[in-house]
């Protein structure tokens, strides 16, 4: 198991970070509880099996380094093909964590594929009655969007439990989940962060509910009844290992399905290893595709925001009202995600 001391030193030094200015007024309706040092949090595997070396150990390492106490789902060590147990087993783990009064939040250990398969099996009445932050990204997008549609409380698009929790990821998590703050996320300085440079496609500001996640998972859920209402929303998407023509196909699906026309603004995050050809090749680059769809919307839009399959990705509050400034490339939370 990875030594715990390094994580405690890194994370402990960040816990005193100052909050960005913002309103702390709460809206009507139940919110997930904020996290506190010593809280118990659930670790579940709602999608792919834990087959990578020391994957579970890494998750325990990071969670304990945050000052939290991990509680493992009953089936996290199982394997059913490429899945972490049967659909029923994975769904029962998630249901149990929402129902457990001692569990304050839930981390997905990893993504992969499989979250969409358990959506019809979940106890949605129990989830609605016990709002808790679900934390993770990639395939966890299916659960984020379904919770936004069926339960209506905030979740966090953030590193999975076994991901590398670097400074920006932890700092934004702490401000949102522990301090119940309303931080400003991103900014022009994101150009110097990681991955492809951030750039403004269309300037301006828009306010709306922040919704999105992995582009592949989002497009997979279209037409299923498991997506929230995107009218006026601020949409963010990210992906990995997709050629430009596949990103084109998924954006076209969002366009034909009416999502791109209904949202108030769009954030294209990092697209890691997305196969953009050399600039002089006789085909479309990823930037060409992004510009064709998002640059033509006439709405605030940016590309290269610090979210996705990269180190130091920001923790983003799914389902929370935000102000999106495409010129400054920032998201300002308008309401705390937790109570």
pLDDT the model gives residue 280? 61
Which domains, and CATH codes, for the chain?
A: 13-178 (3.40.50.10740), 184-333 (3.50.30.60)
Closest Cα partner for 158 from 134, 142, 175?
134
Q: What are phi and psi of 255, to 5 degrees?
A: -70, -50
Question: DSSP label at 172?
Answer: H
Question: DSSP label at 66?
Answer: T
What's the pTM? 0.89
Mean pLDDT, range 258-279, rounded to an integer: 88
When pLDDT is cut at 50, 70 and 90, the band that residue 17 belongs to is very low
pLDDT the model gives residue 49? 97
For residues 267 and 300, the answer to whether their CB atoms sit within 8 Å is: no
Mean pLDDT, range 232-254, rounded to an integer: 96
How high does pLDDT run on average in the chain? 89
Q: What are phi and psi of 84, to 5 degrees?
A: -85, 65
pLDDT the model gives residue 29? 63
Which residues are marked as active site?
138, 238, 309
Indicate whether 286 pLDDT > 70: yes
pLDDT the model gives residue 26? 32
User: In the chain, what percentage of residues exceed pLDDT 90?
Assistant: 82
When pLDDT is cut at 50, 70 and 90, the band that residue 197 belongs to is low
DSSP string, 252-273: HHHHHTTHHHH-SEEEEEEEET
Question: DSSP label at 159?
Answer: -
pLDDT the model gives residue 188? 57
pLDDT the model gives residue 279? 60
pLDDT tens track for 36-95: 999 999 999 999 999 988 999 999 999 999 999 999 999 999 999 999 999 999 999 999
Residue 92 Cα distances to 41, 55, 85, 125, 331, angstroms: 16, 21, 11, 14, 35
Query: Between the CA atoms of 227, 231, 235 and 237, what dihedral angle is there, to the nearest 10 degrees?
Result: 30
If one compares 69 and 10, the residue with the highest pLDDT of the two is: 69
If one compares 25 and 98, the residue with the highest pLDDT of the two is: 98
Distance from chain centroid for Cα 4: 25
When pLDDT is cut at 50, 70 and 90, the band that residue 281 belongs to is low
When pLDDT is cut at 50, 70 and 90, the band that residue 21 belongs to is very low
Span of 12-26, 97-111, 147-161, 222-236 with lowest mean pLDDT:
12-26
Mean pLDDT, range 213-219, rounded to an integer: 98
Mean pLDDT, range 101-127, rounded to an integer: 98
Q: Answer left, alpha or beta for residue 67, where phi above 0 means left and psi between -120 and 50 means alpha.
A: left
Mean pLDDT, range 157-168, rounded to an integer: 95
Indicate whether 2 pLDDT > 50: no
């Amino acid at each position: 198991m990875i030594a715990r001391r390094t994580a405690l030193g890194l994370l402990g030094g960040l816990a005193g970070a100052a909050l960005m200015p913002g309103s702390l007024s709460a809206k009507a309706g139940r919110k997930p509880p904020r996290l506190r040092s010593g809280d118990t949090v659930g670790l579940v595997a709602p999608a792919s099996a834990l087959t990578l070396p020391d994957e579970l150990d890494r998750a325990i390492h990071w969670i304990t380094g945050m000052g939290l106490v991990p509680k493992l789902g009953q089936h996290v060590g199982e394997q059913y093909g490429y899945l972490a147990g049967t659909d029923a087993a994975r769904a029962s783990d998630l249901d149990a964590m929402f129902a457990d009064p001692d569990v304050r939040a839930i981390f997905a250990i990893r993504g992969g594929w499989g979250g969409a398969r358990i959506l019809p099996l979940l106890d949605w009445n129990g989830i609605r009655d016990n709002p808790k932050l679900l934390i993770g990204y990639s395939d966890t997008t299916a659960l984020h969007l379904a919770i936004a549609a069926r339960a209506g409380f905030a979740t966090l698009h953030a590193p999975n439990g076994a991901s590398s929790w670097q400074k920006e990821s932890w700092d934004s998590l702490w401000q949102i989940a522990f301090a119940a703050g309303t931080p400003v996320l991103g900014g022009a300085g994101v150009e110097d962060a990681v991955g492809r440079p951030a750039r403004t496609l269309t300037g301006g500001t828009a306010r709306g509910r922040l919704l999105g996640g992995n582009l592949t998972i989002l497009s997979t859920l279209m037409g299923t009844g498991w997506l929230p209402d995107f009218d006026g929303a601020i949409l963010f998407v990210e992906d990995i290992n997709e050629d430009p023509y596949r990103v084109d196909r998924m954006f076209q699906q969002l366009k034909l399905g009416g999502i791109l026309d209904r949202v108030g603004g769009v954030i294209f995050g990092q697209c890691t290893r997305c196969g953009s050809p050399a600039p002089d090749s006789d085909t479309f680059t990823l930037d060409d595709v992004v510009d064709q769809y998002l640059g033509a919307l006439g709405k605030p839009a940016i590309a290269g925001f610090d979210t996705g399959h990269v180190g130091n990705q920001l923790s983003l509050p799914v389902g929370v009202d935000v102000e999106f400034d495409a010129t400054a490339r920032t998201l300002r939370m308008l309401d705390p995600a937790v109570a």
